[in-house]
Chains A and B, each alone.
Chain A
Amino acid sequence: GAVVSQHPSRVICKSGTSVKIECRSLDFQATTMFWYRQFPKQSLMLMATSNEGSKATYEQGVEKDKFLINHASLTLSTLTVTSAHPEDSSFYICSATEGGGWGNSPLHFGNGTRLTVT
């Protein structure tokens, strides 16, 4: 089955520093990847849609200058949380789909990154 690898699984950083999270599709090409964020006991909130070779599309309320997304190849997307603050502490999950179109292919999720900003 389709495998999405996300790294690191857990990171602790100091307030004001930047953190980069990598998401790789290991056995398929992902034209589109999605980044979600999940706070405790909340649902997954879509942050942005990442398309290979083009600028990411951010959801309303998500600061594009704070959450930098780069999708440089068909198998790799990165999310950089810049100038992190304690309120950015959350569970960040990337996902990718094998097919395009209107969502008939399910999303495959990475294992998530638990970010803690102290």
Chain B
Amino acid sequence: QKEVEQNSGPLSVPEGAIASLNCTYSDRGSQSFFWYRQYSGKSPELIMSIYSNGDKEDGRFTAQLNKASQYVSLLIRDSQPSDSATYLCAVNRAQAGTALIFGKGTTLSVSS
């Protein structure tokens, strides 16, 4: 089983809609969870971090964490064409300090 799994997509939504991105992880000891956005040919940039169960909101972005289900998600409200990118879910490896393990990413396409 892969450590971090994401649906590769593409996920297509119209402008103004809510985009929902999902991620599951295998290491129950993981403690920190991150969502990064990556544009083609660029390095990832941090969007959200979440450490405890529940929801965390930051502007148009909401991260949700359910450790019992080993599931983390990202909701993007009022999606904009500029949100079109690949979204990477990252989880810290509990036994290796601060190293992050990444999923393959979900490609989001927002049409205007």
Contact = CB atoms under 8 A, between A and B. Distances in A.
Interface of B: 31-32, 34, 41-46, 49, 51, 88, 90, 92-94, 96-105
Nearest to B105: A43
Contacts of A107: 34, 46, 90, 98, 100
Nearest to A101: B98
Contacts of A99: 98
Interface residues of A, number: 29
B45 A102 contact: no
Given A42-B104, A44-B88, A49-B96, A106 B49 contact: yes
A111 B42 CA distance: 6
Interface string A1-31: 0000010000000000000000000000000
A4 to B, nearest CB: 9
Given A91-B41, A108-B46, 8 more contacts: A43-B102, A43-B105, A95-B100, A101-B97, A102-B97, A105-B98, A106-B34, A107-B98
Nearest to A107: B100
Contact of B97 (A32, A95, A108, A109): A32
B99 A109 contact: no
